[in-house]
Amino acid sequence: MMKTMQQRLLGPTGLSVGIIGMGCMPLSVNGRPSEEEGIKTIHAALEQGITLFDTADAYCLNAGENGHNERLLSKALRNHPEAIVATKGGHIRPEGRWETDGRPDHLRQACEDSLRALGVEAITLYQFHRPDPKVPFAESVGAVADLQREGKIVHVGLSNVSVAQLEEARNIVKVASVQNRMNLFDHSSMDVLKRCEELGIAFLPYSPLNGMGKAGGIGSNETLSRIAGAYDASPQQIALAWLIQLSPVILPIPGASKIANIVNSAGAAKVTLSADDLSVLGTIASA
């Protein structure tokens, strides 16, 4: 049975999604589950009321299987029109390395490849994955804007950007979302979040549980563990609830490769923290 989850607008798109999304990268990189288990995990997310799924063409082991995560999502979501997929282009994986390629020609080809991998005529939300220091930022964003004008992209987003880059992009295209790293332990994008809030742009914090490999250990923080106990919640749920209450434009996208983990993360939507606990949790990063 599908559960209902509190909804939140995906920025200025007019689309409503579950207040917690799912980051799908762990399903396609080192340590990934089988395809069957990956699909079961995506279906478990749907059953919890999650409707926003974050992916990228570069979520794979190497360049030889580019688009692995997009193809997996396409297969899992084939009969789920309620699901919204946000993908990204601008990273490449030569021999498994993470490198950037923001050249307009590359972004155009990346978008075409993502359309095929996802099996759609237009990508609902396409985010420029990371500024490429070798390519003027405006050229990369301009290429994505061209793809939107051609009808291949519905909404445009950015990832890993500064406030200055967000403002530069806004002179070129309407920005629907920003996906930057943000969690209890890392407030480095707080200025970008505040600007997104002022503009009504969705902010999708990636690594909301402090990143792959660290999520399971965040309960070792004494303050977080104490507050979690008071709410009869997991430390992970408290960390996500803090993000949700931090700003009305935030949509956390915790990653998961196991059913139990995404079910646990979805439970954060039911946690409401007190003002005092929000304040205390906000000091963890500087402790």
Q: The tokens 């919204």 sit on which residue?
A: 84
Crossing angle of the two packed helices 190-199 and 163-170, in degrees rounded to 10: 30
Which residues pair with residue 158 across a beta bridge?
128, 178
Give the CA distances from residue 165 to residues 138, 142, 148, 175, 184, in Å, rounded to whole numbers and listed in that order: 9, 13, 19, 11, 24
How would you class 133 by CB atoms within 10 Å of its CB: exposed for 0-12, middle for 13-18, buried for 19 or more? exposed
- CA end-to-end span of the chain, whole Å? 42
| Closest CA relative to residue 236, chosen from 254, 258, 249, 259 | 254
What residues act catalytically?
59
User: Is 158 strand, coil or helix?
Assistant: strand
Which DSSP letter does residue 26 get?
A: G
DSSP annotation of 276 reads H
Residue type, 187: H
The secondary structure element, H or E, covering residue 28 is none
Closest to 31 in 3D by CA, of 261, 221, 268, 263? 261
SS (H, E, C) 180-205: CECECCECCCHHHHHHHHHHCCEECC
Please state, in angstroms and rounded to a whole number, the distance separating the CA atoms of residues 128 and 138: 11
Residue 70 phi, psi (nearest 5): -65, -40
